[in-house]
Amino acid sequence: MNNQVVSRETTKKAILYCRSVVGDRAELQSQSEALTAFAKANGLSAIRTILESGTMDALTYNNLRLQAKYREFNVLVVPELEVLGNYPIEITHEVNFLTENGVKIISLKDGELNVETLPMIFRKGFRLVKKSIVRAY
């Protein structure tokens, strides 16, 4: 009986969060399949899959935040960090909130997301363009 309690505590409960800004059903299905395969391959128990279209729906995402606050899941799996917000400050705020509430965030594209890894990930997203200065004489 003791071993069963320990095994339940070590099981990582995950929520799979898919979002398509344009509402493409095929894209959402593809994301869901990739996240499900990742969860199975990494021994995560997917307790819920959220498929969301457009911008972040306040009701759905607030429900997710509430579940995090009450420690109903340990891992949030997303296809990429952009599903957590539209701007770096918004994404940073969400990552900070979730990690402070004991949630490990894993992006299939970007790896583990936390306040230590975000600066490097954001830097990768910026492309530096060399400007050549043209002088008119």
pLDDT for res 75:
98
Model pLDDT, residue 34: 98
Distances (CA, A) of 32 to 10, 14, 58, 119: 24, 13, 21, 27
Q: How far apart are CA 43 and CA 73, in angstroms?
A: 14
pTM: 0.81
- Say what angle helices 58-69 and 88-100 make with each other, to 10 degrees: 30
What domains sit in the chain, N to C, each tagged with a CATH number? Answer: 2-125 (3.40.50.1390)
pLDDT in tens, the chain (137 residues): 444 444 445 679 999 999 888 878 999 999 999 999 999 999 999 999 999 887 666 668 789 999 999 999 999 999 999 888 888 899 999 999 999 999 999 999 999 999 999 999 888 876 544 555 555 54
Q: What is the pLDDT of residue 132?
A: 52
Q: What is the spatial distance between Cα 23 and Cα 30, in angstroms, rounded to a whole number?
A: 13
